[in-house]
Structure 1
Amino acid sequence: MRIRPTRQQLLGLLPARLVLVHGPREPGALYLSFDDGPHPLHTPRLLDLLARHGARASFFLVGQRIEQHPALVERIVAEGHALGNHSYSHRQFHRLGLRAQLDEVERTDRLLQDFDRAGAHRFRPPRGDVSLPLLLAFARRGRSLAYWSYDSLDYQQRPAAELAARLQRQPPADGEVVLMHDDSDCAAQILARLLPAWRDEGRRLHALPAARA
């Protein structure tokens, strides 16, 4: 049995309206999430793959990359995926004061709203770096922070076949939020192996529920 890191265990104790670690635990449901995009090479390939298998996902985007590749953000929205906030510059949040952290969030909020007109977006901090002051600020503002319950490890420069085999041996449970990235081709390689099998097993791939406005 997998043992979650302590940070995930602690965040999982908080109300889901403040920190979403799991998605709804519907039978067969999984929630793919992709950080660090959009990327001009890897994001289109990933979107093509998701479309072929009728899968939906959540894309936690970096503000600077939104500005560089707006057509990709438009495509993400047009194909039924959800947008999330992954800061403006992907700086290490533990090196920033609270005001600088909130500036990173708010700047990206404004960019995202131009694409999907959503009143609110879930925020996932770079590298999962969550501080108590940031949590309290989000609680005061009624904001929602998004985490994950299953780490694909696709950022570890390990062969995609090895990581896919791990996902097959230790599959995510119903309602799990799977952490992946769309700034390399590793996630697409893993999912090319897994999506057909998951479809045959009756798995359904969803975007995360919308944040409260």
Structure 2
Amino acid sequence: MARVTTTNRRDALRAGAGLVAGGALAAGCGTGPKTTTATRTAPESAVTSSAKPSPTAPAAPGPRAYPGQPAQITHGPRTRPQLALTFHGQGDPALAQALLTTAERHGAHLTVLAVGSWLDEHPGLARRILDGGHDLGNHTQRHISVNDLPEADARKEITDCADRLRRLTGSIGTWFRPSRAPTASALVATLARRAGYPHVLSYDVDSLDYTSPGAAAVTRKVLSEVREGSVVSLHFGYEDTVAALPDVLTELDRRKLRAVTTTELLS
């Protein structure tokens, strides 16, 4: 396994220096720490006219059903040398840019589950993600514990984020993942399906990057558990993740495992 070095960390962060840093660091789902800024909803005026889909830009792909797959997907086929690196999308946009750029330099494509309030603050990132060949999906509007909400509030968390995605890209995105939990409750899965998402996207490998364990620990955790078909949970907004990604991708290349979008993984 390649060693995570200070140079790797510095180079990865430099790749994102072209964007202005801003926004709260992403809080991890499940047992990760919560942040108050993660639940702030930006005003509607934050989505400016420039954030509307370009007349010349094709509409983003929408959700599709995968016959034979369960309602909540944790992994793809174990018979092909592919896996999906999925990112909970919020936090400093410069770190997001660094992760996207690193992936693209390695020929990898990611799946980004974006928080709606993050898209309100940084609407240009929706098209940036799609233009890089990555999947873009729904991770609720405010990144609060959606499984614990009353039905009407849970529905609004899902549909508000879907509306942001539709406004920015022309579709509601390809996937839905619940916030603050690895899997959706029966109610949330039903609400997501009614909103247009046939499947909930879960995962079988949790990087635990939101605990800020250090880049080497993130790298070890991911590489010790991934296999063909894995869906890996990672996060934008953490320097450890930015520093770890080059070594993760280098080792995946050595193992001849391709990092593809979840859509490609299941196609």
The question of a shared fold, defined as TM-score above 0.5 by the shorter chain, is answered with yes
Query: Structure 1's 166 and 64: CA in aligned 2 closer, same or farther, altered over 3 A?
Result: closer
CA distance in 2: counterparts of 1:199 and 1:99, whole angstroms: 45
Shift of 1:113: 1.9
Aligned with 2:176 (options 114, 123, 129): 123
Aligned with 1:82 (options 120, 135, 146): 135
Shift of 1:24: 3.2
Question: Residue type of the partner of 1:146?
Answer: L
Counterpart position of 1:208: 262
Aligned with 1:150 (options 197, 202, 205): 205
Counterpart position of 2:158: 105
Query: Structure 1's 25 and 118: CA in aligned 2 closer, same or farther, altered over 3 A?
Result: farther
Match status 1:161 vs 2:216: yes
Counterpart position of 1:46: 99
Q: Is residue 85–residue 233 contact of structure 2 (8 Å, CA) maintained in 1?
A: yes
Match status 1:37 vs 2:113: no
Shift of 1:125: 0.8
Shift of 1:20: 1.4
Aligned length: 195
CA distance in 1: counterparts of 2:91 and 2:138, whole angstroms: 12
Query: Structure 1's 103 and 121: CA in aligned 2 closer, same or farther, altered over 3 A?
Result: farther
Match status 1:186 vs 2:240: yes
Three-state SS of the structure 1 residue aligned to 2:180 is helix
CA distance in 2: counterparts of 1:149 and 1:121, whole angstroms: 19
Counterpart position of 1:197: 251
4+ runs deviating over 3 angstroms: 118-121, 136-142
Task: Flag structure 1 segments of 5+ consecutive residues without an equivalent.
Answer: 1-14
CA distance in 1: counterparts of 2:129 and 2:97, whole angstroms: 9
Three-state SS of the structure 2 residue aligned to 1:65 is helix
Task: Flag structure 2 segments of 5+ consecutive residues without an equivalent.
Answer: 1-67
Counterpart position of 1:27: 80
CA distance in 1: counterparts of 2:222 and 2:108, whole angstroms: 17
Higher CA-based Rg: 2
Shift of 1:23: 2.1
Shift of 1:17: 5.0
CA distance in 2: counterparts of 1:171 and 1:137, whole angstroms: 31
Query: Structure 1's 61 and 140: CA in aligned 2 closer, same or farther, altered over 3 A?
Result: closer
Counterpart position of 1:8: none
Counterpart position of 1:133: 187
Counterpart position of 2:15: none
- How large is the RMSD of aligned CA atoms in angstroms? 2.1
Q: Is residue 73–residue 115 contact of structure 1 (8 Å, CA) maintained in 2?
A: yes
Query: Structure 1's 105 and 41: CA in aligned 2 closer, same or farther, altered over 3 A?
Result: same
CA distance in 2: counterparts of 1:103 and 1:196, whole angstroms: 40
Shift of 1:141: 6.0
Q: Is residue 158–residue 195 contact of structure 2 (8 Å, CA) maintained in 1?
A: no
Aligned with 2:145 (options 92, 95, 110): 92
Aligned with 1:73 (options 119, 126, 141): 126
Query: Which has more strand, going by share of residues?
Result: 1
Q: TM-score, normalised by structure 2?
A: 0.67
Match status 1:16 vs 2:69: yes
Q: Percent identity of the aligned residues?
A: 27
